[in-house]
Amino acid sequence: MRAIVRYLVLGTFAAGLGAAAGQGHAKGLAAFCDDNLQRVQDSGAPPPRRPPVLNTLHDIGLALSICWAAHLPPLARARPGMNVTVMLTFTRTGDLLGEPRFTYMTREASPETRALYQRAAVEAINACTPLPFSQGLGNAVAGRPAIFPFVDRRNEKGV
């Protein structure tokens, strides 16, 4: 059920991207996703047959952040504020070109914690790709490296 819910949240998120922007992006987006996630779980609807189309770099970042949230390490082993930055290169069709390259990880983290978060980031990226790029976005990003930050905000004070 977890994979279906994650896929449906991504689908409803992309469909409601414009609606969320009118309410203040972060606040509207969170409300939109919460409302639609509840509706999907209550309805027991099958996953949509066509994935949403991503049109901007921002859409790519949001899609990856949804996958990251679903693949975070267990809370008992989490490190508050852990930062992982990954360089990714995509093809026109949304597939990964080459391997993810880790460009930054929180210095204070132990080697075991770094390895744990690297595995989680790779799992999240593999679960999301290929991403459903529009033709224009595919043409724009094909072969060009882009850097995406993943931050674990669980266990931080006030979060």
pLDDT of residue 46: 57
The pTM of this model reads 0.64
pLDDT of residue 153: 86
Structure tokens at 102: 């880790």
Q: Which string of b and e fits 76-111 if b means at least 16 CB within 10 Å? A: eebbebbebbbebbbbeebebeeebebeebbeebee
pLDDT tens digits for 20-68?
Answer: 444 444 444 444 444 444 444 445 555 545 568 999 999 999 999 898 8
Give the residue extent of every domain in the chain.
Answer: 1-52, 53-159
Residue 84 confidence (pLDDT) above 90: yes
Q: For domain 53-159, give the CATH number.
A: 3.30.1150
Q: If pLDDT is split at 50, 70 and 90, which confidence band does 11 have? A: very low
Rounded CA separation 81/109 (Å): 10
Q: Is the peptide bond before 130 cis (omega within 30 degrees of 0)?
A: yes
